[in-house]
Chain A
Amino acid sequence: MATVLDPTGAPAAEERRPDRRSRSTAPGGRRRHVPPLLAISPFYVLFAVFGAFPVVFSLYLSFQDWDGIGEMRFVGLEQYGWLLEDSVFWHSVLNTFEIWFLSTVPMLFLALVLAFLLHSQVRFTGAYRVAYFIPNVTSMVAMTIVFGSVFAQSGLANSALRAIGMDGIGWLSSEWGIKSSVSLMIIWRWVGYNALIFLAGLQAIPTEHFEAARVDGANSWQTLFRVVVPQLRPVILFAAITSTINGLQIFTESQVLFQSDDVGTTGGPGQEGMTIVLYLWQKAFKEHQFGYGAAMGWLLFAIIAVFTIINWRLVSGSDRDEGRPGLAGLLRRKGARDGR
């Protein structure tokens, strides 16, 4: 998602230019607060009912043994205990991180190179953007089916290998084949999206920086890594954070890719494509262990929270001298520099 989270919730623009008008013109009395409060209320009501309540309720559920039909049975922390001992769960955690790493690192690198290339291009930029963004628009289910046929034993990928005299690869029947297939699908889907975001960041870099690099005799690669990457750091980190959040929730690829295998619940041979969310779905909605599914949801939340905090720390750590920690601070400074 193309947004940057601001932990303080206070944008720079507002601080620099306090909202005089609303203070001076607002009529007296508490009643004037009613319309804006009313205006923001739909989100909070919906969140209370469909966001906050389920989260709290899932805590309650995680202490129960319940198949959704019969009686609930209170089991205390047993679900969590089982979860910690569940080798499939930890396998799914490992898979998720492996797939996340295999997809995110090449994806961000390719996106950066692509943005750099697009930036140096004058003609057809609009057409390029559309072409590169389309993978992100299409249904993951449909495209997973297509990729599934490409990666099949007798599919296009192996036919291509055969044509150049190589042996076929067990794309969907070996540990790294499965992880690579899933990662390739994610890369294909997200390179263009991130490239366009990087491109926007690139275009915000003042041209003098490029000129200075050129005067110093830097070649293209040096320009990329000495000028572009440092300048784009906030945008890259933003992309890294969103890819992390998305990457830890991989589901569709693994489920649809191995749909013929017990209706997509296994994650393929050796469960090498089993992700955390796929396992949660399998336990909750295939085996109907609602308590177990709820406990797993909480563990997933804890993992994502830890990662988000690490991410924030990483950014703010190098940013303390500026007095405004956080990614948003970084981005805001850049925005201010651009005169926005």
Chain B
Amino acid sequence: MKKVLVILLLAVVGFYLADVFIGIGFGNDHFVKSDEIKPVKDIYLQQTVENLKVSNAVTSIVVNFRGFDTLGEVTVLFLSVTALGSILYRKRHHAGDRSVLFSASSIVTAGSKLLFPPILLLGAYVFIHGHLSPGGGFQGGVIIATGFLLMLLAYENYTVSHNALSIVESFAGITFAVIGLMGFMNGGTFLQNFLPVGTLNDLFSGGIIPIIYIAVGFKVAAELTGVIYTVLNEKGDQKNG
């Protein structure tokens, strides 16, 4: 009876939400209906090319116009990793090696070794070119972390230094915050661009955007690798179960 009620309630809420969302008209060019409203997106698209010289508008919005949000999101990730570490702490302290059912075959190990450098390279490429092509710091960082995941799965005694991860993570975070504070130079504001923007479509363009995205790339890579490593070494109550 209770379940039926819950399902009915969810159905009613779902119906109204769906009804609302169908009416909005996502995907149309201008779904903001009134003429009195000048959406900020027009300004974003115009300023991205004219003032910031960035060809990827998503990047310019994420790192420049709304860079403060990104600093917050980076912190959210940092906090999640800290939280995970704090919750799994006691167990990790007593945990020994990883529990492995059977070791990987030589095809897997050799293949992983072969794939590992290209994966890192691709990740680096994605975050370095974040302002030119699709992708950016978060995506590049995740790609790099998958490279480490591959190695950790293929080699049962592959280790990553927690201290090294922590140092990379901290330095990347500090870079982001310090660049933000450097925006105050010349009477500017927090996170304001203080470097020359260069020319459109150059690798060295967009002012502080590539620097921030490289820092984010390193940070995300280090944090996600740390998460994978912590969880893989989590033995839990296997002895009892």
Partners in one complex: no
